């Protein structure tokens, strides 16, 4: 069973009351009293229970840490969204008024324009938000009037320039007239009092004449078989002043000072009643308007005529049906219970669905800005028109308003809705008709774009001559996409180059992020990108992976003449099997020493180079030129010979003061002669290469273990 209207209102008020107890608005009015009064106004407008309940929940939002979640849990998502969206608009308008007041921009059309835009954009989220704001503003002005306080000028101007025109656009005449009169009363008190006094001076006589005329008209219409209700029309002081100023009329020349309405049952009776009125009284031809055949832009419908009574006095008569009258008085509140518009539509516009009804009202609202320029003062017309001409508003298929620069295209629209939608945009419709992507959009159009699942923008979109993009923001998004593609390609290219070096150097175990960090980059991708752009030499990575060899002395290479018959004469102790008197040299790439397993490679012009069997360079030579590899072995040293061989030991350690000294002492302690040292430090990591002389390479294992025990040393290996 669904919850009744009274129940949800009672719960909403009970929920808000403890939060709002003793709280006051900026105007000085008690918050709870204000909310109660707003509910009463909404009730006269036939508003739904959700809008009324939100009147309390809006003011509770500022007292909740997570208002949307809390309200949704207690009242549902619909109530929560309505309350939160209204709260946002209230805050935006408060800041706007504060800025306008501090800068004294109340008469600046720019301030007015921005307020209008904020109201329009609020509409695209939830149309009920504006109904709430109109009722709240009306109550604020009523409060000032009741306590006889002066309304701040910025508040009165905002009401007259934004809220009253909005009520007019929505056709909520009952609120429009009161907003206009209450704000005008404080903006121009002398003029207001003068017109009010003129109306009051002849009130008794006028009311007596009107009473007699109403009875006469209703009786005579009944005699014509036209059932009707005849009533006097309220006098709107601000509209009288506007008419006097707009047409340069004197008060006595304003015809609608005396006015009545004739409400009949159907449209046919409207014209029957009009025919009788024109036969019975003398019509003023120039003052006739048929708003039934041609409704106003906000959907208002009625017949307006001015006739002279039996004494020759002008009187305005409005003839309409009850439905037309309901709309004229209450507008959106009477004709659109939100989400329930159905086929009856909104403000005189037929609609077959909720979507059609919403599109109808939004399109009318989008024309509001353009109309305001014609209503501005002569001095401000030019500036105001220029302000409005720089923007357009279009609708999404879901009836959300999208603000765009003038001349914007479907591509601009797509990027404004979502960056990814812009990237994948391939076609567009405006009001259901296919259009080219570089077609300038018009105010009020419904725009729909077609997309592909994957893809990106076209480079043509950045060509200004082709006219695909007007928005600077959309252009920036397209450029960013292409820059990202270039970056992606550079990263892929750089990654491939770095990984090849690691494979060639046998360092594939090194983490890419660690490598980038050691080389001074924030991430591996940053390293790949600059390598891919050829802005970073791969030699730097090679040096890091394999520190450059120290400058060696000429005697590092032992060139000896070998003798198969007299092996003892060999200085290096290396014998080439089956060959006599052949030069040999110990290779620098692997620095072999007894008892390493070795092989020889016949070079061109430099004899035989001796390599360790596990040497990477030798393996490469073996694969390419296996026919030039020959067998060699270490010779036996004669008594008294003391041959030594240079070998390299690499050390990786955390850099610190005294590190080189401590490692050198280990070699000295083991009685190993250090003939060369090369060091480099990168981001606190020290790489050291020691060249030491040994007679037997097997002794290195013990020395390397001692070096690894030195504080900070992490890796010790023989090159």
Tens of pLDDT along 390-439? 677 787 887 666 778 889 999 999 999 899 999 999 999 998 899 999 99
Looking at 464, 497, 523, the residue that finishes a domain is 464
In-domain check, residue 435: yes
Give yes or no: residues 649 and 584 share one domain.
no
Q: Report if residue 630 sits inside a domain.
A: yes
Widest pairwise Cα distance in the chain: 155
- Residue 271, domain CATH: 3.30.460.10
Residues 264 and 271: their CA atoms lie apart, in Å, by 10
Residue 623 lies in a domain: yes
- CA 194, CA 184: separation in Å to the nearest integer? 12
Same domain, 502 and 595: no
- 303 and 214, same domain (yes or no): yes
Question: Which among 462, 692, 442 has a CA at the least distance from the CA of 591?
Answer: 692
Expressed as residue numbers, the domain containing 660 is: 645-718
d(CA 522, CA 96): 44
State phi, psi for 434 to the nearest 5 degrees. Answer: -65, 135
Residue 248 included in any domain: yes
| Residue 561 reports pLDDT greater than 70 | no
Same domain, 489 and 617: no
Q: How distant is the alpha carbon of residue 634 from its chain centre?
A: 76
What is the C-alpha to C-alpha distance for residues 531 and 669, in angstroms, rounded to an integer? Answer: 45
* pLDDT recorded at residue 656: 87
Closest CA to 530 of 504, 502, 495: 495
Burial class (CB in 10 A: 0-12, 13-18, 19+), 464: exposed
Domain match, 318 and 400 both:
no
Measured distance CA(85)–CA(74) in Å, rounded: 17
Q: How many domains does the chain have?
A: 5
In a domain, 313, yes or no: yes
Same domain, 315 and 205: yes
Q: Does the pLDDT value for residue 365 go beyond 60?
A: no
pLDDT digits (tens, 9 = 90+) for 529-552: 888 888 788 878 887 886 544 443
HEC string of 240-295 equals HHHHHHHCCCCHHHCHHHCEEEEEECCHHHHHHHHHHHHHHCEECHHHCEECCCCC
Q: Are residues 604 and 693 in the same domain?
A: no
pLDDT value, residue 571: 47
694 has pLDDT over 80? yes
Q: Where are the beta strands (DSSP E) in 380-477?
A: 391-395, 401-405, 425-430, 433-435, 447-451
Q: Can you spell out the DSSP letters for 550-562?
A: PPPPGGGS--EE-
How far, in Å, CA of 520 to CA of 504, rounded?
Answer: 22
Q: Are 630 and 649 contained in the same domain?
A: no
Domain end residue (candidates: 312, 330, 348): 330
**279 assigned to some structural domain:** yes
| 652 and 695 housed in the same domain | yes
Distance CA 486, CA 278 (A): 79
Claim to verify: residue 519 and residue 456 sit in the same structural domain: no
End-to-end CA distance of the chain: 85
| Span 369-395, pLDDT tens digits | 445 444 443 433 333 333 345 677 787
Rounded CA-CA distance 147/24 in Å is: 15
The pTM assigned to this predicted structure is 0.48
Q: At 235, phi and psi to the nearest 5?
A: -95, 125
For residue 450 the two structure tokens come to 């077609």
User: For residue 702, what is the domain's CATH number?
Assistant: 3.30.70.260
Whether 258 is in a domain gets the answer yes
Q: Mean per-residue pLDDT for 45-60?
A: 84
Same domain, 220 and 293: yes
Residues 257 and 289 in one domain: yes
Q: Quick one: residue 136, left, alpha or beta (phi over 0 = left, psi -120 to 50 = alpha)?
A: alpha
Task: Give the Cβ contact number of residue 448 at 10 Å.
Answer: 17
- Torsion on CA atoms 385, 386, 387, 390, rounded to nearest 10: 120
**Residue 519 maps to a domain:** yes
Q: Is 419 in contact with 435 (CB distance < 8 Å)?
A: no
């Amino acid at each position: 069973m669904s919850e009744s209207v009274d129940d949800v209102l009672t719960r909403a008020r009970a929920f808000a009351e403890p939060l709002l107890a003793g709280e006051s608005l900026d105007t000085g009015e008690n918050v709870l009293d204000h909310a109660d009064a707003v509910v009463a106004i909404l009730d006269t407008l036939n508003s739904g229970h959700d809008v009324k309940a939100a009147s309390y929940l809006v003011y509770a939002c500022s007292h909740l840490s997570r208002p949307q979640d809390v309200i949704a849990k207690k009242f549902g998502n619909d109530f929560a969204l309505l309350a939160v969206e209204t709260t946002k608009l209230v805050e935006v308008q408060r800041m706007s008024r504060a800025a306008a007041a501090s800068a004294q921009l109340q008469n600046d059309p720019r301030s007015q324009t921005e307020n209008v835009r904020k109201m329009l954009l609020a509409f695209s989220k939830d149309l009920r938000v504006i109904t709430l704001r109109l009722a709240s503003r009306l109550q604020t002005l009523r409060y000032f009037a009741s306590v006889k306080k002066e309304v701040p000028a910025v508040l009165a101007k905002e009401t007259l320039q934004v809220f009253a025109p909005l009520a007019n656009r929505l056709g909520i005449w009952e609120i429009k007239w009161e907003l206009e009169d209450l704000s005008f009363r404080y903006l121009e008190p002398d003029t207001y009092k003068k017109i009010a006094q003129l109306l009051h001076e002849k009130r008794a006589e006028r009311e007596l004449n009107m009473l007699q005329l109403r009875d006469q008209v209703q009786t005579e219409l009944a005699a014509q078989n036209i059932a009707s209700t005849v009533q006097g029309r309220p006098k709107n002081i601000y509209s009288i002043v506007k008419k006097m100023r707009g047409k340069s009329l004197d008060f006595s020349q304003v015809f609608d000072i005396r006015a009545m309405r004739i409400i009949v049952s159907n449209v046919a009776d409207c014209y029957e009643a009009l025919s009788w009125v024109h036969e019975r009284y003398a019509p003023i031809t120039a003052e006739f308007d048929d708003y039934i055949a041609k409704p106003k832009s906000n959907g208002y419908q009625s017949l307006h005529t001015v006739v002279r009574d039996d004494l020759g006095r002008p009187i305005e008569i409005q003839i309409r049906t009850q439905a037309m009258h309901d709309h004229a008085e209450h507008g959106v509140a009477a004709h659109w219970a939100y989400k329930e518009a159905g086929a009856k539509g909104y403000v005189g516009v037929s609609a077959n669905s909720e979507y059609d009804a919403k599109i109808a009202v939004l399109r009318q609202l989008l024309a509001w800005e353009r109309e305001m320029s014609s209503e501005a003062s002569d001095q401000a017309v030019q500036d105001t028109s220029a302000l409005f001409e720089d923007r357009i508003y279009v609708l999404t298929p879901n009836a959300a308003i999208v603000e765009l620069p003038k001349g914007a295209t479907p591509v601009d629209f797509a990027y404004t809705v979502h960056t990814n939608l812009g990237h994948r945009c391939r076609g567009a419709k405006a009001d259901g008709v296919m259009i080219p992507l570089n077609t300038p959009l018009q105010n009020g159009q419904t725009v729909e774009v077609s997309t592909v699942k994957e893809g990106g923008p076209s480079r043509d979109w950045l060509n200004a001559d082709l006219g695909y993009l007007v928005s600077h923001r959309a252009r920036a998004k397209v450029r960013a996409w292409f820059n990202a593609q270039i970056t992606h390609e550079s990263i892929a290219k750089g990654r491939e180059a770095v990984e090849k070096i690691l494979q060639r150097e046998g360092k594939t175990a090194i983490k890419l992020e660690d490598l980038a960090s050691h080389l001074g980059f924030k991430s591996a991708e940053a390293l790949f990108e600059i390598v891919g752009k050829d802005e970073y030499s791969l030699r730097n990575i090679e040096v890091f992976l394999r520190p450059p060899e120290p400058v060696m002395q000429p005697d590092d290479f032992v060139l000896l003449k070998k003798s198969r018959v007299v092996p003892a004469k060999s200085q290096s102790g290396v014998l080439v099997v089956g060959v006599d008197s052949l030069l040999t040299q110990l290779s620098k790439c692997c620095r072999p020493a007894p008892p390493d397993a070795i092989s020889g490679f016949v070079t061109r012009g430099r004899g035989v180079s001796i390599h360790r069997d596990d040497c990477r360079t030798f393996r490469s030579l073996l694969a390419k030129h296996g026919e030039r590899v020959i067998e060699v072995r270490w010779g036996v040293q004669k008594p008294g010979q003391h041959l030594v061989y240079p070998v390299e030991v690499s050390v990786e350690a955390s850099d610190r003061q005294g590190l080189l000294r401590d490692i050198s002492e280990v070699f000295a302690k083991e009685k190993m002669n250090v003939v060369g040292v090369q060091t480099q430090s990168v981001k606190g990591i020290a790489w050291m290469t020691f060249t030491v002389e040994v007679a037997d390479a097997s002794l290195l294992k013990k020395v390397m273990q001692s070096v690894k025990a030195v504080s900070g040393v992490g890796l010790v290996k023989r090159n």
